[in-house]
Homo-oligomer: A and B are copies of this chain.
Amino acid sequence: MPRSGAEARARLREAALDLYGECGYDATTTAEIAARAGVTERTYFRHFPDKREVLFDGEAELREVMTGAIASAPGSPAPLALVLQAYVAAVPLFVAGRPVAERRAKIIATSPALQERAHAKRDAVTDALIGALQDRGIAEPTARLAARVGAAVFERAGREWDGASGSDLTALIGQAADELRELA
């Protein structure tokens, strides 16, 4: 009964978010997630490679937006400026995904295994940015340093944003960049 594939996938995502939230990550099994989504455990593993990945769906979109921003930036900005522009370009995605992101963050905070995956995902984004910078002719080591530093700046802004719900993430990124200049 292949309705569309995407439907089952979405149901699995919701089911996992619910169950992980209600019963905890360790206490829920992949079979339970599948059951709540109305499919088999095997089908779960056709959509997601492991038990954690359900929580990190949609990260590809983020990567595309950010690398696209770097590729299409006008002029020839400095490497770090390019990276920060990429994060600014992604702000709408962060704003849109905020409600889900909060539930997810609470769950992730309860499990080291999930924190590990979250770190890996952030690093994957950073690696994509490095690639995009290189495509603009920036040498690998410089690109890597800029992308990592940019990630640090964004993390600093993002934490501030999480604390103050009414604030403007774009402005916070600018502030964090100022702080970086003070540090260096």
Residues of A whose CB lies within 8 Å of any CB of B are: 78-80, 112, 115-117, 119-120, 123, 141-142, 144-146, 148-149, 151-153, 155-156, 159-160, 176, 179-181, 183-184
Which of B119, B160, B181 lies in contact with A184, CB distance below 8 A? B181
Give the docked Cα–Cα distance between A93 and B7 (Å).
52
The complex is assembled from copies of this chain, and their number is 2
Determine how close the nearest CB of chain B comes to the CB of A27; give it in whole angstroms.
18
Interface-centre pick from A116, A160, A184 (highest chain B CB count, 10 A): A184
Give the docked Cα–Cα distance between A116 and B79 (Å).
26
| Chain A facing B: main interface SS | helix
Q: Which residues of B contact A153 (CB under 8 A)?
A: 145
- Is there contact, CB below 8 Å, between A160 and B180? no
Give the docked Cα–Cα distance between A120 and B122 (Å).
11
Interface-centre pick from A149, A151, A156, A181 (highest chain B CB count, 10 A): A149
Q: Which residues of B contact A144 (CB under 8 A)?
A: 155-156, 159
Determine how close the nearest CB of chain B comes to the CB of A176; give it in whole angstroms.
7
Q: Which residues of B contact A123 (CB under 8 A)?
A: 119
Chain B residue with minimal CB distance to A180? B184
- Is there contact, CB below 8 Å, between B146 and A148? no
Determine how close the nearest CB of chain B comes to the CB of A93; give it in whole angstroms.
22
Asked whether A152 and B148 contact (CB < 8 A) given A119-B116, A184-B181, A184-B184, the answer is: yes
- Is there contact, CB below 8 Å, between B184 and A149? yes
